[in-house]
């Protein structure tokens, strides 16, 4: 996730060829003596910030969790939802199992947005309703109901420069013991995955303090939860574990933004485009996840008079630059920006 504040620093420049007759063909080896190459920078460009309400965030192998208050795009809150799949367990092996502990593990992938120097707290809640796909997908504005009382909270500080830095959360013993008992007694909730998901509908991680939004690696090959237990065999203790994985298609992140204290406070589902002239600063914003993008309009392009009857545009260049104060270590620039045509 990133944000970028753009300021227009020059008008759009066009280079075009003009000639006195129509006997000139572009692509000739030699230019006709009557040909003129002309540059003009009188094409007006209008900037605006456009909000689109949803982007797909499911099955991305990424969990975003955190809270960051950004002066330009508002207070960003990222929460992540997980459906847990039924693990493969040999019932005979856990029949006489003795519970030890149970942990959730998340691994930072090195990406972040915000202040990583402060400690932050996340709350883990159990879902009260199963995660339901919307025509096969989940979005940044999708949600599922959860128990308002967290099962556990964790306060930590990460070093995002260290890829694979781990957030390890010990779950309450009664949570793990209940699960282990169901396996040991072969109860109906662990007969198949549908019954298991109906029992353990899922978990959601919600930030509870301001700091940074971190990105974590999540997929169906990385253990999400691990239940540790032991059995006594031939007079000695044998340590064992049960690993739980997430259902990739139903793991997604939700992002909300409170823009009430920013220049974008009036952007909404019924007012999706805010002109850069609104605050007189000729600036627009790009922010993934929220999501915001910059829209460029060329109001006079269809009536571009300098071309004349025989002129042809051979190139066009638009120069923009990020506003210096809008990108810092805590909010780095994106490596790439995509450009697309819009109606």
Q: Answer whether 226's CB lies under 8 Å from 99's CB.
A: no
d(CA 32, CA 303): 26
User: What pLDDT is recorded for position 306?
Assistant: 59
User: What pLDDT is recorded for position 11?
Assistant: 42
Rg (CA), the chain: 28
User: What pLDDT is recorded for position 40?
Assistant: 66
8-state DSSP, 175: H
CA 240 centroid distance within chain:
36
CB contact set of 322 (below 8 Å; sequence gap of 6+): 4, 5, 6, 7, 333
User: What pLDDT is recorded for position 309?
Assistant: 65
Distances (CA, A) of 115 to 112, 255, 258, 279, 289: 9, 18, 18, 28, 18
What are the pLDDT digits (tens) for 40-72? 666 778 888 999 888 999 999 999 999 999 888
Local structure of 75: helix, strand or coil: strand
Q: Answer whether 63's CB lies under 8 Å from 205's CB.
A: yes
CA 167 centroid distance within chain:
19
Local structure of 77: helix, strand or coil: strand
Q: Which of 56, 47, 48, 66 is nearest to 288 (CA)?
A: 56
End-to-end Cα distance, the chain? 26
User: What pLDDT is recorded for position 342?
Assistant: 79
User: What pLDDT is recorded for position 36?
Assistant: 62
pLDDT beneath 70, residues of the chain: 1-42, 163, 279-280, 303-311, 328-332
Length in residues, the chain = 343
Phi-psi region of 44 (alpha: psi -120 to 50; beta: other; left: phi over 0): beta
Torsion angles phi and psi, residue 175, rounded to 5: -65, -50
8-state DSSP, 340: -
Q: Answer whether 264's CB lies under 8 Å from 292's CB.
A: yes
d(CA 14, CA 37): 10
- Beta carbons within 10 angstroms of residue 190's beta carbon: 20
- The sign of the dihedral angle between the CA atoms of 171, 174, 177, 179 is negative
User: What pLDDT is recorded for position 3?
Assistant: 52
* Helix, strand, coil share (%) of the chain residues, nearest 5: 10, 45, 45
Local structure of 91: helix, strand or coil: helix
For 160-211, strand residue ranges (E) read 166-170, 203-207
């Amino acid at each position: 996730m990133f944000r970028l504040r753009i300021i227009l620093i020059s008008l759009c420049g066009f280079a075009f060829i003009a000639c006195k007759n129509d006997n000139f063909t572009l692509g000739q080896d030699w230019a006709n003596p009557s040909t003129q190459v002309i540059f003009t920078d009188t094409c007006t460009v209008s900037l605006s910030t456009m909000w689109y309400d949803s982007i797909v965030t499911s099955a991305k192998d990424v969990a975003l969790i955190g809270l960051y208050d950004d002066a330009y795009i508002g207070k960003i809150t990222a929460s992540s939802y997980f459906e847990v799949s039924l693990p493969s367990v040999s019932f005979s092996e856990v029949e006489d199992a003795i519970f030890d502990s149970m942990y959730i593990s998340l691994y930072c992938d090195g990406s972040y947005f915000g202040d990583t120097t402060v400690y932050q707290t996340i709350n883990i809640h159990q879902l009260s309703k199963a995660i339901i796909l919307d025509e096969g997908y989940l979005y940044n504005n999708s949600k599922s109901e959860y128990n308002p009382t967290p099962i556990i909270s964790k306060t930590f500080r990460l070093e995002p420069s260290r890829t694979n830095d781990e957030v390890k959360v010990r779950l309450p013993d009664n949570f793990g013991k209940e699960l282990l008992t169901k396996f040991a007694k072969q109860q109906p909730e662990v007969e198949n995955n549908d019954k298991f998901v109906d029992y353990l509908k899922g978990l959601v991680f919600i930030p509870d303090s301001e700091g940074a939004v971190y990105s974590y690696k999540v997929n169906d090959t990385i253990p999400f939860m691990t239940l540790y237990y032991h059995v006594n065999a031939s007079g000695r203790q044998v340590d064992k574990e049960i690993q739980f994985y997430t259902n990739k298609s139903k793991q997604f992140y939700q992002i909300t933004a409170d823009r009430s204290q920013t220049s974008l406070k009036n952007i909404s589902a019924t007012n999706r485009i805010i002109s850069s002239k609104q605050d007189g600063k000729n600036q627009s914003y790009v922010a993934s996840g929220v999501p915001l993008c910059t829209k460029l309009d060329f109001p006079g392009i269809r009536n571009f008079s300098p071309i004349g009857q025989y002129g042809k545009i051979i190139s066009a260049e638009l120069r923009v630059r990020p506003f210096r104060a809008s990108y810092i270590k805590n909010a780095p620039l994106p490596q790439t920006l995509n450009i697309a045509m819009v109606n």
